[in-house]
Amino acid sequence: MTIEQRLDRYKRTVDRELERILLRNNTLLFQAMRHSVLGGGKRYRPLLCLAAADAFAPEPAVILPFACAIELIHSYSLVHDDLPCMDDDDVRRGRPTCHKEFGEDVALLAGDGLLTLAFELMAEAEVPRRLLTKKIQVIRETAELAGAEGMIGGQLLDITFSAENATEASLVELMLKKTGALITASVRAGALLGGASLAELKAVTAFGENLGLAFQFRDDIHDAAERSKKGVPSGPNYARVFGAGKARDRLRSFVGTGLEALDRGGVKAPLLRRLAGRLLEK
Ligand code: GRG
């Protein structure tokens, strides 16, 4: 099987499992949660989690609940980010946003439901005895990286950002938290549960942080191009402040630095490397 075929197979597994998890109830809340999670999405973060585990001792069944939990956290962040009090977006993944379809009140609760369900999933996940401590570490780290000092903290920097005082360092700090934290959590969860050594975990973490930044640079480049066509102002955006050319250079350099971290740590991880490569494609 080629690397792309293996990634496709992992994506189908994640899609099926997310469907199974969210089909357990048919209340309005679960309908809104399903609308937000099952309506497309690249599943980039769960793939990173599975790909990181795959680099060590592949036991995908053990990793799957954690990979799915991270996608639920990602989906909650999108539902809340789309709300009128945040980015006020009408369309997500080519469909009406959760609040457009279900109303703001239900969308707020759907986000809450997805976030808490993620932690329920991880807590309930069955792991071999030798991985029990690692499982607790993953849950704690995921909470921290998704929380007030990670992704949510990054979102606060986003909404309070002052474009006039924007510096490269302030934008990078925002990106590291808003986007990089959950991407780092994804690869660390996979590596920890996959059995990485401390040195390998360090390499995978550096890879994740660089990939998180690359991911947001790529999004900023696309977003700046889209918004300049439509003339709609956007939030903090590196490509808008420093130019698309510089943003593209930074994107390539973060992907390169991430890959070098894997090289230095002796981590082969062909699937992780392929996922990094995707960020340099159209
Ligand atoms: C807690 C409200 C709240 C927000 C947290 C993650 C985040 C901060 C907000 C989401 C909006 C946003 C533009 C985040 C940057 C990361 C990003 C580009 C998300 C889109 O992720 P993709 O491209 O989306 O992986 P799919 O649809 O493929 O899952």
* Mean of pLDDT values over 94-115: 98
Give dist(CA 234, CA 248) in Å, integer. Answer: 18
Please, what is the average pLDDT of the chain?
95
> Closest by alpha carbon to 205, among 48, 14, 46?
48
Tens of pLDDT, residue by residue over 120-143, are 999 999 999 999 999 999 999 999
pLDDT for position 60: 83
Residue 222 Cβ inside 6 Å of ligand 1? The answer reads no
Residue 178, amino acid: K
Residue 42 Cβ inside 6 Å of ligand 1? The answer reads yes
pLDDT for position 233: 65
Residue 49: C-alpha distances to residues 7, 153, 164, 172, 199 (Å): 11, 22, 37, 23, 18
- Judged against a pLDDT cut of 90, whether residue 58 lies above it is answered with no
**Which atom of ligand 1 has the smallest separation from the CA of 74?**
6
Give dist(CA 111, CA 148) in Å, integer. Answer: 16
Tens of pLDDT, residue by residue over 202-252, are 999 999 999 999 999 999 999 898 877 776 666 888 998 889 999 999 999
pLDDT for position 227: 77
CATH of domain 3-278: 1.10.600.10
Residue 265 Cβ inside 6 Å of ligand 1? The answer reads no
Query: Which ranges of 128-243 does DSSP label H, i.e. alpha helix?
Result: 132-146, 151-159, 168-175, 181-194, 198-230, 238-242
Coil vs helix vs strand at 62: helix
Residue 175 Cβ inside 6 Å of ligand 1? The answer reads no
Spatial neighbors of 12 by CB under 8 A, at least 6 apart, are: none
pLDDT for position 165: 80
Model-level pTM greater than 0.85?
yes
Spatial neighbors of 33 by CB under 8 A, at least 6 apart, are: 22, 75, 110, 113, 114, 117
Coil vs helix vs strand at 128: coil
CA-closest residue to ligand 1 atom 16: 179
Task: For the chain, give every domain's residue range.
Answer: 3-278
What is the distance in A from the centroid of ligand 1 to the CA of 46? 14
What is the distance in A from the centroid of ligand 1 to the CA of 18? 18
CB contact at 8 A, 82 and 99: yes
Helix 132-146 vs helix 181-194: crossing angle, to nearest 10: 180
**Which atom of ligand 1 has the smallest separation from the CA of 71?**
29
Residue 152 Cβ inside 6 Å of ligand 1? The answer reads yes
**Range from 37-51, 133-147, 164-178 carrying the lowest mean pLDDT:** 164-178
